[in-house]
Amino acid sequence: MTDKMLPTSPTKGGSPDPWHGLRSLTRARIGLGRSGNAQRSTDVLAFQAAHAQARDAVHAPLDIDTMQAQLKDEPYLIVHSRAPDRPTYLRRPDLGRRLDAESLSGLKKGNWDAVFVAADGLSSVATTEGAVALYHAMKERLKDWSIAPLVIAKEGRVAIGDEIAAAMGASIVVMMIGERPGLSVANSMGAYLTYAPRVGCPDSARNCLSNIHPHGLNTAVAADKLAWLMREARQRKLTGVDLKDDAPGSTLLEQAPPALDKDTRA
């Protein structure tokens, strides 16, 4: 990699900064400067802000009002796990994998090809920002499928989708869930695909698309890959380790990621 490929930027003293071009390609903290024996205040403050965003993503409740506004007049359902509140949910992952009795009794069985479930997981911010957009993109790509109304699951883990799908009679469930935030991305969402879901379904029976966020896998690319996987799953009647992601490459993957502002990068 040469300087012609990666532009440099003059430092305050006038010397070129060889890290400038590399910083535009990653959200990782590389080539940080220093002031004497300490890091620069701007870098320390940026780290503290990223840490605060990650904590907020974990502890904040799912923004149901925002998701309702995104859905407009579309039908949807709201269910709740057996975890009564956020602190309990974080301490007891097992409670987040099952529906509470009231939610389970309110689900009606149908004849659905697939049901999409949006759960907060460990980043409610990611789900609030990305789940409805991905749901809409999938409905556009699967117009010949019978898609159940979106189910919004509060205090939910991945496995809660199995019970939801089984109760609703859906052949496939797609769990759209906030991923554990890091110090570079706090709004990353994952999509877990399971064929013939049931309570107690092992993780080896699922396919996962991760890092769905503006600086990672964007909604259009994620929807293309997920639609291919879903069609393969329905045809082959399986998901998980036996279903390999051999989806054709998307030209959208060749697009450069958004440029990172050196003063606001996480």
Binding residues for adenosylcob(III)alamin, by number, are: 158, 179, 208
What is the spatial distance between Cα 24 and Cα 257, in angstroms, rounded to a whole number? 9
What is the spatial distance between Cα 70 and Cα 121, in angstroms, rounded to a whole number? 20
Residues making up the binding site: 158, 179, 208
Q: What is the CA radius of gyration of the chain?
A: 21
Residue 77 β-bridge partners: 151
Which residues are CB-contacts of 115 (< 8 A; sequence separation ≥ 6)?
147, 148, 151, 161, 164, 165, 168, 170, 172, 173, 174
Structure tokens at 62: 């799912």
Q: How many CB atoms sit inside 10 A of residue 61's CB?
A: 12
Amino acid, single-letter form, for residue 240: G
